[in-house]
Structure formats: structure tokens, C-alpha cells
Structure 1
Amino acid sequence: MSATPATTDTTAGPLVEPVVRPGSTGHTDGAWADRPVPVQTRSERFASTDPAAFPAVTGREVDWKLSPVQRLRPLIDGQLDGSPYAYLARETPGASVEWVGPDHELVGAAGKPEDKASANAWSSVENVLLVTLSGDEASSITVGRSGLDQTPRAGHTVVHATANSSGIVILQNSGAANLVENVEIVVDEGAHLTVVSVQEWDDDAIHLSTQFATIGRDAQLKHFVVSLGGSIVRVNPSAHLAGQGGDADLNGVYFADAGQHLEQQVYVNHDAPNTKSRVNYKGALQGDGARTVWIGDVLIGRAAPGTDSYEQNRNLVLSEGTRADSIPNLEIETGDILGAGHASATGRFDDEHLFYLESRGIPEEEARRIVVLGFLSEIVQRIGDQALQDRLQASLEQELAEGARARAEADAQHGSSRAAAYTDKLPGSGPTPTAAGYAAKLAEAASTEGTV
């Protein structure tokens, strides 16, 4: 029996050509020669200040797939108001704040946009806010923004620490906002700079912020992202360790309530010998629909022997109906390093911690407050500005108090249907005892039965 040769359907239409995204290259293997290859490493992502150079955002892209893209459309590809806005900053020795043109020599020194929203803001601004630290003595300056209204707006800020200077720059955000912005941080040789970006927006505010940093030889950057208020807040910091001996310490603390979306995409690029980085982000979630996203990318390049790097993200879930995405990524292109690692954990409130405190007579809500504040305060206490630390500590306590009120109202409305944190399961027990009484019952059971 002879085989019938397969026929070719000449009426079939041509193959649909794939969308070629900026930064991709063609395969050189067989039939795939004309098809694009996805970006293989974080440093190869396409970057441009022209929003038209980016393809339309669909929400399936790697940097947008966890974001509520449809609600962000006006900022991603809409028309933006790029005019200067009102800000508040006190005169501080060794520090200055001024508006400069978008053609200033420092604009673009720290990086270029890697997404369409960032490029849209870059091309829309009329002026750039320049914050300069140049004093020999350590200085601290706060730049406050409030009441930007709901008009889609673009912003651009450059923070420059000159050679061997030191100080703290606090970017304080509050009030109404519908803002997309770029923040560039330039840390010259030998400088020690701390930048704190605080988001305490109104409940309906939307804020997209891309924050680039370049760190020179033997320079140090401590960077903090504190996100507490707003409807959608997406802050994406990146640090380019471009000089030998550079040090990047990136930290974040966030508290998502019902309906809030708080997102951080962190990138550290080790591009010089003997550089060091630490990434430490912590968050808490409470209330139906609370959502957090953390993505951490660390690249140790071929030109970075002697690198010491570690990143971690911890999330504490305080109620049902929340979601926390945590994705650490590590790329290593050289084997000559001191160390590199990453960690990620998301878990519910620890009943053992709560039981320990309640067994010593501490009421449940107070015990919850102690545990959560202890978890988040580690980041806050490292900022280095006592007044700001105290205020943020009070803000975290307020978040917890609001959560306690919400739980009390829900219990009252539904007849205290919420399950108790601990339930007495011992044979012959009566009503649920106190934590101290329960501890006594456990001890008694252990002595009579040999097990708990």
C-alpha cells in the first residue's frame, strides 16, 4: 500500500505577523528567523522619552499585567497638564529647590522611561523641579505637594546630591491627585543621600511614579517608599550602581485598605565592581479588595565582580478578601560575587503571636496593634528623621484603628458572626475561656494526656 502525499492548501491566508515590540530581536534558528525574541534580561528593556515609540498598552505586558490598566488610561496615553504646580519647601542651609527647563543637563542623567506612562509624563512637562544638596553638613529638606486636583497631570523632579554631600530629601504627597511623574536621583561620588517618598493621598487619588537613581563611586543612596493613601499608587524605583563601591539601600512600607491598589516594581542594576545593595519591603493588607503588588528585579552584570546583594519582601494579611503578589527575580552574569539572594513571604496574622500576648492579659485588638506595628516599624525606624518617623508611626496606628472599628461594626451588624481567634476544643469544656484560662487548660491536658 502506498502512502498518499500530503497536499498543500494554497487557498489559506498568510500567517498573521506578530507584533514586534521595541527592544526585541529576531531568531536566527530555522523558521523562527523573522520572529521576535522576548527581552532576555532586565537591562535590555526598551527605553525612550517618546511615548509614540511604545506600542499600545493592552494589560498583558510584563510590566502592566498586574496593574488596573483601564483605570490608568488617561495617564498612560491621554493628554496631560505639564505646567508647574505649587509646592511647599522651607529654606534650608545646604539645600535648594527651583524650577528649571526640561533641557537642563541633569534631566535624563539617571535614566529614561521604560513604559508608555513614564514617557507620556516626560514629554508633557514644561518645567522640572530641581532639588540640590551641596552642603558639607548634613541637611534635611521636605518638598510638599497637596491639592493637585483631579486633572490628569505630569510631573518631573530631579534630586541631586553633589560630590561628598549628605542629607535627607522628603517628598511629601497628600490631597487630591491624578498624577504620573518621573523622579530622577543623581548621587555624585562620595555623597550620602536619603530620599523618602511618602504617599498619603486622598482616598480617590491615582499616582504613577517612576523613580530612577544613579549612584557614583563610593556613594550611598537610602531610598524609602511609604504608601498609605490613594486609590491606585504605583511607585517603581530603580537604582543603577554605576560607580565602584556604590551602595543602594532600598526600603518600602505600605498598608492597603479595602479597595486600594498599592504597587512597587523595584530594579537594582549592579554595573560596577564591589557594589552593595539591600532591598527590604514590608506591607500589610486589610479589608475586602485590598491589593498589593511587589516585583523585585536584581541584575548583577559582567562588570560587577565583588557584588553583595539581597532582596526581600514580606506581606502580612490581616483579613479575608485581600491579595498580595510578590515576585522576586535575580539575574547573575558573573560568578565572582560576595553573595546574592532573595526571599518572599506572604502570610496571615500569626495566631501564636496573638495568643502569646492575650495569655498575658493583653486584649485582642491591642495585641493585634502591637504585632502589626512591630512588623512594619522596622522600616520606618530606619529613615533617620525622627519627626517623620513619629508621624508615620501615628499614621500606621490610625490605619489599624480604622480596621478595628470596621471589624467591630461588622460584628455588630452580623451578630458577632466573626469566628473567635481561638476556640476551646477540649473535651467537656464550657464556654470559650479567656486566653489565660485556655493556656491553663492546655497545660492541664498536656500533663494528663501527654500531648496537646
Structure 2
Amino acid sequence: MSTLQTEQHGFKAHSDGDWENRAPVQTRSERFKSTNLADFPEVTGREVNWKFTPIAKIRALIDGPLEAGTAAPVVSDAPGVEVTHVPMDSDLVGRAGIPEDQAAANAWGQAGTALRILLTSEERQTVTVDRSGLAQNPAAAHTIIEAAPNANALVILENSGDANLTETVEIVVGDGANLTVVSIQEWADDAIHLASHNATVGRDGNLQHIVVSLGGGVVRLNPSIHLDGQGANGESYGAYFADAGQHLEHQVYIDHNAPRTRSRVAYKGALQGEGAHAVWIGDVLIRRIAEGTDSYEENRNLTLTEGTRADSIPNLEIETGDIEGAGHASTTGRFDEEHIFYLQSRGISEDDARKLVVRGFLFEVIQRIGNEQVEARLQEAIEAELQQSVLA
């Protein structure tokens, strides 16, 4: 009897039945999406998009009852900025995408209303959204940040204090608009924050999305940027510093859905202390229609002590051969001893040399914000982290 394997291993259905419907979705673009939580199966923690997340700590936000509007954010005033509240069944809601996980769908169904920030000024404006008055009760929120065609703005989401929040942030970038959205997480040590940032970028539009995660017990912030207009540009940057017992997770998705689009993704993180856990998953899809695409993504992790864990998974899917370029990179490791030796040879102590490396490592992302006051404050926060570390 022949034992030669002539078919692909695993090609035939298994004996448990319904094999085709049980096969896991491997492509980010094919994930199920719905605004109705009941349409999703129960989260077990074995799913590809949940397997690194501490489910037990966030279960109430995934499928439990949520409060809406427990603390309204404070939005700064600036020329060409209009702030309104719209119902969740409005045509203004859902233009940047709908939920692809249970926590986002739960927030969508219980947010009540959406806060809409409309930006129309063609002169660069800076808008801050202060969210420091949240409670510890499980809550839902929905925010729409919309840049009208040719608008130019920097929007900074300031998150601090207590939180037990699941939310969606929609970002709509009109044709020719230039928008930077910065989300800063400086929550209290036991805060929980789950966020889906969905963005659509129009023709020749530019979106720079920056995440800085420093505080919070569990932070899971997933940007999803859809380059839907020809010539659209999307940049996604992140900096994070995970301490003992802290879970910081970022799942980034870039969807090239039009010709001659460009994207850059760069996330950098430092980890210290027993149980510090960082998760980065980067998915880039270059669709068949997206000829001339230029894309690159990278994640770098610097582990400062023993007992830390960094999961880093870059994924790249290309459906057309007519592209300018595409690539990805991922590294996780300790200090480069050559860098430390070089600084020591200049009269700098070993401890100070290691701190300098960490500062420079993270500041490369932070300096992209474009606001000196915010950048200086974040530098001080990172300095405080370093002073408490074993490097001090």
C-alpha cells in the first residue's frame, strides 16, 4: 500500500464536520464586522485577535452593561472647530468603518450618542480633548473627528485618571486634508481602556496617527486606517513604556484601497518589571486596485529587565505586483552594548548611558507630535519612569 502524500496536508475536511465554516479567518480584511454585539460569538481568548489579551480583566467591557456619557470630555476652542452630539443612527456615524470585535460592538450599541468634532480651518489648528473625569464603572463612548476637505489640524486626545472604558474613535479625513490625531494614555495604574480607532483617508489626504501609552493597567488601542482615495497617505506611530504587571496592546491595520497610496508604521516600546507585557500586531493589506503603493511597517522593543514579554507580529498581504515597495521589520532585545560602550567612552556612566538610549529610543516617535508643550511633558513622564526603574 502506498504511503506517498500527494495532496496538501490538511486539505481534506476533518471528521468533526463543518470544516469549511470552522476554518479560522487568516486575513484581517475578512474578519466579521457588525455593530450588533449579538452577531458575534462569545470571546474565549483563543481567537487570533484576543489571544494575547487578559480577557478576565476586561470581560465587563466585552459583553457587559455599560454606562454612556458618564463624563463629557472638554474640547478646546479654536477657529474652524465645531463640536456637536449626534445620535448613533445618524448617517454621520460609521463612515470610517464598523466594529470587528466584540468590545467595539458593545460600545457601539451602548454609547447613546457620538461626539462629533468637525475641523474646517485651512490654517493649522490645535485642538485638545481632555478626558480626565471618567469613573471606574464600565462605560462606552463614541467620538468622530472629521477634517473637511483641505482642512489642517492637530487633535490631541488627553486620557488620564480613572477609566473603565471601551470606545470607538472615528477619523474622517477629507480630500486634500492634513490631520494629525494623537492619543495619549496616562491613565491611573488600575485603569482599563479598550479603543478602536477607525480612519478613512480621502484623495490626496494625509493622516498622521500617533499613540503614546504610558499609564493604565490594561490598554488595548487598535488603529485601523483605510486609504480609500488615490494618493492618500497614512502614517501610524506609537511609543509605549510598560511597567510591572502592565499590559499595553496595539493592533494596527493599514488598508491600501486606492492607487498610489503610501503608508508608514513605526511603533517603539520599552518594558521593565516582572509581568510587563506589550503586544504589537501590524497588518498591511495592499489590494489589487492599489497600484503604485509604497508601504513599510516596523516594531522595535527594548526589554530593560528580566520578566518582561513582548509579542510582535508583522503581517503583509499583497494582491498586486505593481507596487513601489513594501516591507516590514520587528526586533525585540536588550541594550546594544556598543552604544553603551560608546557613551561610556565619552565619560558618561553606564546607568546614565542606558537612560540616554531609552530616551532617544522613544523620543524619536514623540517628537512627531508637533506640539512642544506636549512633547516636553511626555519626556518628563518617561524620565519619571526611568527614575523608578532598576536603571536608576
Which bin holds the TM-score, normalised by the shorter protein?
over 0.9
Pairwise CA distance, 1:271? 0.5
Q: Report Cα offsets for 1:50-101 as digits up to 9, x if no partner.
A: 0000001000000000100111110001111123523222211122323222
1:127 maps to: 113
Partner amino acid, structure 1, of 2:275: G
Measured in 2, the distance between the counterparts of 1:208 and 1:164 equals 31
1:315 maps to: 301
TM-score by length of 2: 0.94
TM-score by length of 1: 0.82
More strand by proportion, 1 or 2?
A: 2
Structure with max Cα Rg: 1
Give yes or no for the alignment of 1:143 onto 2:126.
Answer: no
Query: Does structure 2 retain, via aligned residues, the 8 Å contact 1:84–1:127?
Result: no
Query: Does structure 2 retain, via aligned residues, the 8 Å contact 1:54–1:116?
Result: yes
Q: Work out the number of aligned pairs and report it.
A: 378
Name structure 1 gaps, 5 residues minimum. Answer: 1-14, 19-25, 28-34, 409-452
Of 294, 306, 318, which aligns to 1:332? 318
Pairwise CA distance, 1:384? 1.1
Partner-residue secondary structure (3-state), 1:277: strand
Partner amino acid, structure 2, of 1:65: K
Identical-pair percentage: 60
1:217 maps to: 203
More relative contact order, 1 or 2 (CA 8 Å, 6+ apart): 2
Q: Report Cα offsets for 1:304-354 as digits up to 9, x if no partner.
A: 000000000000010010000000000000000000000000011222222
1:272 maps to: 258
2:10 maps to: none
1:124-273 superposed matches below 5 A: 124-273=110-259
Give yes or no for the alignment of 1:402 onto 2:388.
Answer: yes
Measured in 1, the distance between the counterparts of 2:322 and 2:30 equals 22
Q: Report Cα offsets for 1:205-249 as digits up to 9, x if no partner.
A: 000000000000000000001000000000000100000000001
- Between stretches 378-387 and 208-217, larger displacement belongs to 378-387
- Between stretches 394-403 and 180-189, larger displacement belongs to 394-403
Query: Does structure 2 retain, via aligned residues, the 8 Å contact 1:176–1:202?
Result: yes
Query: Does structure 2 retain, via aligned residues, the 8 Å contact 1:237–1:266?
Result: yes
2:337 maps to: 351
Query: Does structure 1 retain, via aligned residues, the 8 Å contact 2:211–2:237?
Result: yes
Measured in 2, the distance between the counterparts of 1:322 and 1:84 equals 35
Measured in 2, the distance between the counterparts of 1:100 and 1:40 equals 35
Measured in 2, the distance between the counterparts of 1:166 and 1:360 equals 44
Measured in 1, the distance between the counterparts of 2:70 and 2:229 equals 33
Of 26, 29, 51, which aligns to 1:65? 51
Partner-residue secondary structure (3-state), 1:337: coil
Measured in 2, the distance between the counterparts of 1:302 and 1:309 equals 15
Partner-residue secondary structure (3-state), 1:389: helix
- Between stretches 40-49 and 359-368, larger displacement belongs to 359-368
Pairwise CA distance, 1:105? 2.2
Measured in 1, the distance between the counterparts of 2:76 and 2:322 equals 46
4+ aligned runs moved over 6 Å, structure 1: none
Measured in 1, the distance between the counterparts of 2:247 and 2:319 equals 34
Measured in 2, the distance between the counterparts of 1:220 and 1:390 equals 25
1:71-86 superposed matches below 5 A: 71-83=57-69, 85-86=71-72
Give yes or no for the alignment of 1:110 onto 2:96.
Answer: yes
Give yes or no for the alignment of 1:289 onto 2:298.
Answer: no
Partner amino acid, structure 1, of 2:389: G
1:414 maps to: none
Partner amino acid, structure 2, of 1:186: V
Name structure 2 gaps, 5 residues minimum. Answer: 1-14
Distance 1:100-1:71 versus aligned 2 partners, 3 A rule: same
1:341 maps to: 327
2:7 maps to: none
